Structure 1
């Protein structure tokens, strides 16, 4: 018996039609195109320009950029070797964007760089609703500005994308992480606070307490979350400049009418963040409620080889999670676009002419389909109906002799004889109403 191959667990195919994969609806290719087009439209309004980086990156780039002690690097990377070179399938896009910024000296373009991306990422984690081994992200990176207005601009851009989809029931959580000297002091305070409770922590949390105590703030364990009630707060450890930056940012968000909730335990999962951290949540996503998140990462450039920090702030968002939120609020997404016309050929001579006619009509800007299986007229008409074509163009021996096609409006049943030379103009016009 021959092997029938299946897609790898944690991945999915995007097909012309929506389908069910293990209990989760995978939207059609048309729906993905709609989402991507909407994202691009909003990015253009903020004058963000697209950047595309390779899916393959050096392993060390991601390890240094994201952080050796993060779960992404320690457990979730798809890494491999080819000779002496170590590669990784990118688990996120911010570090690759900063790598490209430094490599290609984009600072020499002048001004602040507003960059955005859309594309796949990869993490070797347990698949679940909204979390896949290959998933898709969009995001924006604003590089070159220390001003708190840059932080507010990125947050406004992120919210504008979701508003373009009609998603208003979201919560913006906000915090500040301080400068490079703030977190070591805070980590020491966290370790001192949790030391008496070591026996109450899970094995994973005990390990994190020693290696990366800030990850304890992300715990989903109810008992551990209750312990956080008395934990020290990061805001008490940050430097005056970072506190001033944070207060300015909050004032700018107030000016824009952007509501936010201050969350002293929001730290994000990546090591390159400094100062601003934020997350956008939706109640429609369940326990894994984050739609998008981001923050400021001025020190990332130094981790990637720069002699000087490069001020930068950005966000990343999961497209699969966006689809879940859209489905929960009942948003209708587009399906496959129908052809403008379906050409029906009666006989071999007509089939040959229809083949040439289809190319001419397509060159005129029309979407055209026709039969390639030599089926009967009745079967071709059924196919035209299945494809939701507004018109069928019927051509047989009589039509070839007269050089006039019979054009039928499928919704109204109205039929008209149209000269071959006038077909493109006729099909571009309004569908004739029933008289």
Structure 2
């Protein structure tokens, strides 16, 4: 009997997941690899892990929330053990978050955030509640990203984008648009609240779909810049403005000077390519400098923009970063760039790594850097994008420290090797 068991052990240890051919091939930087864990999804967007190591993903294609159990045989040798619909709701489109104790699940639509009691062992939900409401925009920027910081587990962060490319009304904080607001979970469980009742964690953010927490409790976000930009009558939109990495302070420090800051939108944006901006050198404009869209006049000047919160890092225009997640020691952030529609040739369509100093919780590169985002997974030929490319949306680290990524155009979930 013992000999028979011993003979079976190598077979058990050598189990391999079946290969799933990707819809579009990906190229990986040295030291990185990846494979498709699951395909055939319906426009997967948000992705998180529960405390049992199961994936929860929102599917924008009218499905709701999916619960996925995994078999993990080491490295990227990961595959689906079982999959089922956890929540059926065609209005669910992106945001998903779980309290650190794994017992309360939050999901969003264009207008509403709901909560459920959650059991990760059985993959079941109960006791649905509406917790935040009245977030409708006029058909523009439909995502409502959610984050529950581990450093402040009674806080739910809810992002809301602009109502238009240039949403002039978003210059008023009481519109509730182009903002991140914070809500006390213990309070919103008692009765639903209007979005405007949340604390303003940050505003002047055009469409900050990606929100993440550094291990030190710092809150970071990535913002999608304005389209069709002009400056003093010149079209500069192909390479400006930059996509932004913004900092919003320590979530457990209410007096943090970066908390509640205005980041410039709708009037102010940050430079990516000063070479196409009229008189950029004379006006002191360089990569990362906030500047005014249109033509400065009177009191409406670049100086007004530079008095607001500047991005900590910039990325190429229109590459559309949609998430930012940190590794365990805080030495790197991983950012998926969903890719452009407003740029020729197309740009983005990649997963990148940004180095951080774990001691300070800040990026290693200066705000003027153009090389801070190092591509680790990308489409070799973006000329065929977006239709014949993978398009990364969200990333999440599993409890064991592996990085997973959703791709909405190819309806896949990937696991990324080497991302530590």
TM-score, normalised relative to structure 1: 0.25
Q: Which has the higher helix share?
A: 1
Instruction: Name the structure with the higher strand share.
Output: 2
Larger Rg: 1
